[in-house]
Amino acid sequence: MRYTLLAVLAGAAATLAACSGGPTNNANPPAVPTAEEGSPPPQTGPAPLKPGASPAGGCPVDAAALEKALTANGEAAAAVQLGKGLTDVSCAQGYAAARTQGDRQVILFQFDNAQARWAFVGVKCEQAPAAIRAQLQTCA
């Protein structure tokens, strides 16, 4: 009987505390953002490989993808001493530039949208349009 009376009194105290604005055992649930509150729209289509990637422009790109493009061009691969690979990769508007790790030679690439792959352009940044060259840190 004592335990039943204690349970009833505890329940009544909790009810009174909740009604009077006092502390309760139930915390307010976190607010869920709605579309009106500025939540981003759901993504449609395929997800990009990396944050900021643009399937139409090829950027950003990593050294491995550019090395693959270089070795795919037999003439370019013979003319450039790749050494330990490429470094200092920069990318802008469908062009990418990188340096060889050995002699630090600058290599320029362009993204082919039709074939969705990178292609070797040459060993001079001047082969890219001036406005794009200014955005390629490797060409600065």
Question: How does pLDDT run across 2-54, given as a tens digit for each residue?
Answer: 444 344 444 544 444 555 555 555 556 555 555 445 544 443 333 344 444 44
37 within domain boundaries: no
**Per-residue pLDDT reduced to its tens digit, 67-102:** 999 999 998 888 888 888 999 999 999 999 999 998
| Domain extent for 92 | 63-139
CA neighbor of 59 nearest in space, from 110, 125, 127: 110
Question: Does residue 58 sit within a domain?
Answer: no
Percentages helix, strand, coil for the chain (3-state, rounded to 5) are 35, 20, 50
Residue in 140, 136, 103, 98 with CA at minimum distance from that of residue 120: 98
Domain annotation covers residue 109: yes
- Residue type (1 letter), 60: P
16 part of a folded domain = no
- Domain assignment present for residue 38? The answer is no
pTM exceeding 0.75: no
Of 106, 101, 99, the closest CA to residue 123 belongs to 106
The pair of structure tokens assigned to 104 is 């630090």
